[in-house]
Amino acid sequence: MRLRRRLRRLHGIARAAVPDAVRRTYERTYPYSWLGILADVPPSCDELIYARGEDGFALHSMRSPSVSRLYLQVPNGTDPADWSDERIWDELDRRFAVDGDWSLARGPITSKSVTPMRSHVTEPMRYGRVFLAGDAAHIVPPTGAKGLNLAVSDVQVLARALTHRHRTGSDELLDSYSDLCLRRVWQATRFSYDMTTMLHSQPNESAFDGRVHLARLHRLAASRPAAAELAANYTGLPLD
């Protein structure tokens, strides 16, 4: 019962209006989660830092000039209560450790939560007069920072189609809404999958797979075309 309520919260109520016989869902649950914190401390760096180490992934990001947002890869099922503030900062320090004089600034932690890493796509995104947009239709793991961007893009496409219908009486753009959005959604899903698998250490990862993920990272750091391809996906795909 709790799981059903949680899924309804994740996907919204409109999705259930698409009959089971029509609706197709594609899902992947990653074998790890993110422990996320908000801390009252200015960001330690102007840039995001994505770190991949043997003990797992860590991300440094910022909410505002005085509030930092940081994440640690943790096993699924982790209870945030098991992570004291000191344990979190120590683990972040270990995962961000670099040669040189940079260090992570610590401050009071004001929020702790665990986010499972999952991908989910519902097709089609339109059934009759029901149009799905954003997380109601698709979830991506936050590694690629795509979820909100995808939601806004869906709404842009839908707004354009509704305006067209209002002005011309034509359903043409409404009819193409689902296919058009799903092309972009699958590209973002693929990008988020690539980022997630490249940057996290997998439980029971073979030595071979670990080296392949590292090779992908080295390629990104060394090759301008490879970095440009990542940047093009990261900054956003065209609406159509």
| 36, 43, 56, 124: which one binds ligand FAD (CB under 6 A) | 36
Residues in contact with 52: Cβ distance below 8 Å, sequence separation at least 6, in sequence order: 198, 199, 200, 201, 213, 214, 217
Tell whether residue 62 is a contact of ligand FAD (CB under 6 A).
no
User: Is the C-alpha dihedral spanning 116, 121, 126, 128 positive or negative?
Assistant: negative
Closest CA to 27 of 133, 125, 117: 117
CA distance 106 to 44: 9
Q: Which CB atom, from 31 or from 212, has the smaller least distance to ligand FAD? A: 31
Neighbours of 181 (CB within 10 A): 28
| Interactions with ligand FAD, residue window 103-132 (CB under 6 A) | 115
CA distance 37 to 68: 8
Q: Which CB atom, from 12 or from 107, has the smaller least distance to ligand FAD? A: 12
| 37, 142, 153, 237: which one binds ligand FAD (CB under 6 A) | 142
Site string for ligand FAD, 1-20 (x = CB under 6 A): -----------xx-------
- For 43, 69, 76, 221, the CA distances from 66, given in Å and listed in that order, are 7, 10, 30, 30
CB of 223 to ligand FAD, least distance (A): 25
- In the bound state, the residue with its beta carbon closest to ligand FAD is 134
| Interactions with ligand FAD, residue window 152-211 (CB under 6 A) | none
Residues that bind ligand FAD (CB under 6 A): 12-13, 36, 115, 134-136, 142, 145-149, 151
